A and B are shown apart, each in its own frame.
Chain A
């Protein structure tokens, strides 16, 4: 059975969505799957809305782009507004609680709307790890890769000396997801 999962991570340029996408793809590879990661380049990659996309499959990936994301993450309203239009059926949305959702989401979509930015800023006192908190929420809510692989992928990528902070950020994300299962659309 061919399983192909399309994931789109979006936020504002500098929020670390590119890195989050790379880490997710690396986690999939650690789990012995195939993954392709791509991103938007250009002026929008510097401030404004930015996105990183990952295709994960248990077999070879032909078409490398995302056309109907089944998992969509948005950390800013601008990114949400720009990138939510082509979601697939039964899409999972992971969004920061500061966002207002629109009423054009596909039927049966599941929304996990949790305080990602606030958790990084207030609980961890490090807004820079919001992307790792977000990854924790995304993986926690979707189970797209196992916990051990995303944790290993995060620790492989982050700067030396920040492992503990990033592990806490990831765990916090998992906790947010666990508390929010079912969503509050």
Chain B
């Protein structure tokens, strides 16, 4: 059958993607500009046998999501910067205990209450390092409404496949704008499920080191007795402080992400083949950057767009692949300098970096980026 074509907000498309991925549980505390996600899931989840819970706060929301996922249910929450801060403690718990879930953060101006109805990209580093401790993280970031649909499915897939929370960042522009989306009757993206135990209930180990880097996860309540703790744990899930066992756990947690970068990292490039000026941007800023690149090309300037879609882990290869070919690399983001520092680190001095940074609650305009291109051409 032909897909249904709809005009949807990014937040609504995120809900459609989550439902297509099989989400059955949402717990959250509404906050602008993410509220439509909670609102729509409250309506839709009961229709597919799922549950929606409005919790007393974001800390409890994250805890409820972890609990739901442990029973084998695909679970998610959605928030904005201030709520994302509150979720960080339990986000770390989910990373350490390897519980799949999706956390959406539709970014607005911050810190604190900030600019609740305006876009920003100030939580990029919070997504990477917001929770405490030494941890890997996966974060994806759509630049359009159709991509919000697809990436939500992929976020669930990555989370299930690697038994880890996945953060989906959006910004107010992507979350609130309406665009054409084609919703297929059956998702075109294959739906992944977490690895399941194949051993007897008595022999099950929730953190088995001999089953690859992503151990099978049994449903809590299905008769597999296992322990889940935020303390450093061994294969049984019970606490241990033995350095040798701690080392095994920490290194496996990092390895399961770092050894699979080819599968996890996504990016898009445009006009990069012969580009002399690269423009790197993500989320809605990449839309302005795409326009600036087209305008520059019209003036005969060889500019090209580099758009990370998986923003964490950092796509080093995207930078190293083009660094030596470029005369200059323009980095645009709606904050006063976060991702650009990572870009600079990855570029290792091979190409000068030009910063286009803006924090005023407005999407960076194409002419602002074009001006930067003109300055370095």
Q: Does B261 contact A (CB under 8 A)?
A: no
Closest to B305 in A: A62
Closest to B366 in A: A63
Q: Does B284 contact A (CB under 8 A)?
A: yes
Bound Cα distance from A169 to B288, whole angstroms: 37
Interface of B is mostly: mixed
CB distance B179 to A35 under 8 Å? Answer: yes
Closest to B178 in A: A37
Q: Does B330 contact A (CB under 8 A)?
A: no
Q: Does A49 contact B (CB under 8 A)?
A: no
Interface of A is mostly: mixed
CB distance B180 to A29 under 8 Å? Answer: yes
A-B CB pair tally, cutoff 8 Å: 56
CB distance A37 to B7 under 8 Å? Answer: yes
CB distance B290 to A63 under 8 Å? Answer: yes
Q: Does A65 contact B (CB under 8 A)?
A: yes
B143 to chain A, nearest CB (A): 9
Q: Interface centre among B5, B7, B177, B180, by most A CB within 10 Å?
A: B7
CB distance A36 to B294 under 8 Å? Answer: no
Q: Does A47 contact B (CB under 8 A)?
A: no
Residue positions of B touching A, CB distance < 8 A: 5, 7, 32-33, 116-117, 172-173, 176-180, 284, 287-288, 290-291, 294, 363, 365-366
Residue positions of A touching B, CB distance < 8 A: 22, 25-26, 29, 34-39, 41-42, 61-65, 67
Show 17 A/B contacts (Cβ-Cβ < 8 Å), sorted by A.
Answer: A25-B178, A26-B7, A34-B179, A34-B180, A36-B179, A37-B179, A41-B32, A41-B33, A61-B179, A62-B288, A63-B291, A63-B365, A63-B366, A64-B177, A64-B179, A64-B287, A65-B365
- Ordered nearest first, which 5 A-B pairs have the shortest CB separation? A41-B117, A62-B290, A63-B291, A37-B178, A42-B117
11 further interface pairs, Cβ-Cβ under 8 Å (given A63-B287, A64-B179) = A22-B7, A22-B178, A29-B7, A29-B180, A34-B179, A34-B180, A37-B177, A39-B176, A63-B291, A63-B365, A64-B287
